[in-house]
Amino acid sequence: MKTKKAYINTFGCQMNVYDTHRMENMLAAAGYATTDSFWRADLVIVNTCAIREKAVQKVYSFLGRICGIKRHKPGIILAVTGCVAQQQSQWLAERFAGVDLILGTHAVTRLVPYLEQLGPENRPIIDVAMRTEIDPPADDVAEKIENADISSFVTIMRGCDNFCTYCVVPYVRGRETSREPSRIHAEVEALVRAGAREVTLLGQNVNSYGKKEALCGFPELLRQIHDIEGLLRIRFVTSHPKDLSDGLIDAFAKLPKLANHVHLPVQSGANRILSKMNRRYTRDHYMQRVAALREARPDIAISTDFIAGFPTETEADFEDTIDLIQKVRFDTLFAFEYSDRPEAPAARFNGKIDSLEKKHRLRKILDVQADVTADIYHNLVGSTQTVLVEGKSKKPRQDIVEMSGRSSENRIVNFVCASSGLEKETDLMEGQLVNVHIERACANSLWGRFVPDTAGLKPAAPLSMKGGKTNAA
Ligand code: SAH
Ligand code: SF4
Ligand code: F3S
């Protein structure tokens, strides 16, 4: 019987989402249920992100609110985990008197023992040690997962050695370390047994997986995972363009479960800026890798990240970025105004771009891409897409059950089952691959109708009870 309740608010990237799941599993074994109501929680965990100034501000304002509420509900335990905890532990302890536990990025596995140690006189407990071991002991709860999301995450490596000049990640996550392939395999198998049908393998630069430790390379890891029965799709993030190997491109040609999508952050279309960012590839190299990927998989969807207004970025550099967007025709992109991170070298670069100008450049990137995405999506109207169904759509229209999932290209597809005879059996669809005839393109999703030729819908394994809140990066 789970008597206590935990609420977790997750900021930042999939690394944090994965750590949140690990904490949920560990807490479940320790008698905590997750809740999505902060008010009912005995334990509140804020899993934090430090990637940009705005992300840190969001964390501070949330913590301020909770500390205010905690004055009226002093029994709540408040834990801060993740990248801001790693970076600002002392400051957090001084600024937010209500915080009981501060655990850095390598300490989340020690959450439960710390909860047990907490007494009135030893708050806050702070652990920001960067440990070398990456795999927890073999009997770790991560491999006894009871409920998994249809689309689940698995961290295959931690940290980053690339030191892009704008980026805080190497400082808050530590040096790059890869997990043993056998442990990753076992975890994916456990997730599939618990209901996962798709996994996303996580690392800041998956292409260098296993190199330092002389484990198998990333394409070989993909081949091993590909054999797992019941697993329908494999995704991965993130790929660094400098390390995107021919071996990985070959894997796209040979492994059908590998989704038809790659996230390949480019950051800028100008060689001078790429060099100042320490990205260690050129615009031409990037375009050449894109061409090779499209040769292996002609319809592959490519998404990317851009930083607008990196120090010294000129109008001409920015035009190179716009030109790259038009030439590559990304499926979608994320773009961010450059933000100084105190630890990162670019914070000390001259030639900072004015805030209004950064906003203007960001807007332009998003507008140019919106046209490209609209064009790609409109061309899909009339096609049939294979969708991994994740559940009911978030914004259903009145009286009609609308289901939602993603195509292999990672496009959100919402669909109705009207007049298919399956209107009442939509639950059976969760976790299945179904065909959807696309009838409409929306700004960030596609809409269509279920094509009732999907062979024998079978009940999927149980799905996880979700608690807390996620604020994607
Ligand atoms: N490892 C991944 C990215 C991780 S961070 C990679 O190498 O691409 C996610 C994105 O945040 C980055 O791709 C970058 O576009 C953005 N980002 C990182 N630091 C930033 C900063 N200081 N200012 C603005 N955007 C930043
Ligand atoms: Fe940051 Fe660069 Fe590492 Fe990505 S590769 S996490 S951008 S340092
Ligand atoms: Fe991820 Fe943010 Fe940390 S992007 S690695 S949670 S700084």
pLDDT at 307: 98
345 SS3 class: helix
CATH superfamily of 142-376: tm_1862 like domain (3.80.30.20)
Q: Could you tell me the two tokens for 454?
A: 């999907």
448 lines ligand 1 (CB under 6 A): no
Ligand 1 pocket, mutate which of 53, 156, 157, 167 (most atoms under 8 A from CB): 167
Q: Note the pLDDT tens digit of each residue in 332-363.
A: 999 999 999 999 999 999 999 999 999 999 99
For the CA of 14, the nearest atom of ligand 3: 1
Q: Note the pLDDT tens digit of each residue in 427-438.
A: 778 999 999 999
pLDDT at 270: 98
Name the closest ligand to CA 163. Answer: 2
pLDDT at 433: 94
91 lines ligand 2 (CB under 6 A): no
For the CA of 48, the nearest atom of ligand 3: 6
Rounded distance from Cα 389 to ligand 1 centre (Å): 30
265 lines ligand 1 (CB under 6 A): yes
pLDDT at 14: 92
Residues with Cβ within 8 Å of residue 114, at least 6 apart in sequence: 101, 103, 125, 127
Rounded distance from Cα 382 to ligand 3 centre (Å): 39
CATH architecture of residue range(s) 384-451: Beta Barrel (2.40)
Alpha-carbon gap, residue 306 to 420, rounded angstroms: 43
Rounded distance from Cα 240 to ligand 2 centre (Å): 8
85 lines ligand 2 (CB under 6 A): no
Question: Residues of the chain whose pLDDT is less than 50?
Answer: 139, 455, 459-467, 472
Q: Which residues line ligand 3 (CB under 6 A)?
A: 12-13, 15-16, 49-51, 82-83, 168-169, 172-173, 473
pLDDT at 203: 95
Q: Could you tell me the two tokens for 415?
A: 């669909």
Q: Which of 142, 155, 140 is nearest to 14 (CA)?
A: 155
240 lines ligand 1 (CB under 6 A): yes
Q: Which single residue is written with the structure tokens 């607008």?
A: 308
Domain boundaries, the chain: 4-131, 142-376, 384-451
pLDDT at 105: 95
Is CATH 1.10.1130.10 the classification given to domain 4-131? Answer: no
pLDDT at 144: 67
8 A C-beta contact, residue 274 and residue 327: no
For the CA of 84, the nearest atom of ligand 3: 7
What angle, 0 to 180 degrees and rounded to 10, lies between the N-to-C axes of helices 181-193 and 218-226? 30
For the CA of 170, the nearest atom of ligand 2: 8
- The secondary element (H helix, E strand) that includes residue 358 is helix 355-380
Ligand 2 pocket, mutate which of 13, 105, 205 (most atoms under 8 A from CB): 205
Give the residues across from 437 on adjacent strands: 384, 449
Ligand 1 pocket, mutate which of 49, 238, 305 (most atoms under 8 A from CB): 305
- pTM summary value: 0.93
Rounded distance from Cα 303 to ligand 1 centre (Å): 14
